[in-house]
Amino acid sequence: MEAPVRYDLDQAVAHITMDDGKVNVLSPRMLGELNGALDRATSDGAGAVVVRGREGVFSAGFDLPTLRGGGTEALAMLQSGFELAERILSFPLPVAMGCTGHAIAMGAFLLLSGDYRVGVDGLYRITANEVAIGLTLPRAAIEICRQRLSPAAFNRATILAEVFSPDDAVVAGFLDRTVEAPGLSNEIAGLAAQMVALDTAAHAATKLRARSLALQAIRKAIEEDMAEFAPA
């Protein structure tokens, strides 16, 4: 299998593309490579980061065979996924998300972690579907949703597992705006250029100040989730 994450540095912008040839499941390998790509962006001296999916899908969430297998591997994958979201929310560089299609469960939580989220128009789903498939939403997922969604949408997304279209996702807070699919790359390029022009130190310090309470809540939630899910 080819690497599921591609990294390209272009004019101080680190482009990170998820493409596993299928639905971009957040497997242990995918999560590890996403973290590695963020490490590269830092070491390369990038001024901004763009994370996007393959055509038609951003990410369908955690790898279900690993999750259903249970045990330490499933627990480690869950922890890595939520800690990746936590890392992006506190990342010292501006992070733009290019939502190329479906964003489901952990895929939606990852989307919510970007500083600016641009989605393509189209018939695809953005949803935290856990309650619909018989799972209690992890505390960390709830806190990630809480810090970005409008109060009404937060309740519908978490408690009712509502499925949002791209336009409805903008109103809810999953996305900041949508564009026609052929224009996504140009839209992201313009946004990244604005991000690179920011003062990096001021951006990083302000991000941590603005998200201090949310990050504290997410960190506490991750610890509580891991304690609950840990094998007896």
Instruction: Identify the structural domains of the chain with CATH numbers, from first to last.
Output: 5-183 (3.90.226.10)
Residue 133: which H helix or E strand, with range? none
Provide the mean pLDDT of the chain: 96
Rg of the chain over CA atoms, in angstroms? 16
pLDDT at 97: 98
| pLDDT band at 231; cut points 50, 70, 90 | confident
Q: For the residues 28-55, what does the mean pLDDT come to?
A: 98
Specify the long-range contacts of residues 204-209, CB closer than 8 Å, at least 24 apart: 204/92, 204/93, 207/90, 207/91, 207/92, 207/115, 208/90
Q: Given pLDDT bands bounded at 50, 70 and 90, which one contains residue 50? A: very high
Q: Is the pLDDT of residue 136 over 70?
A: yes
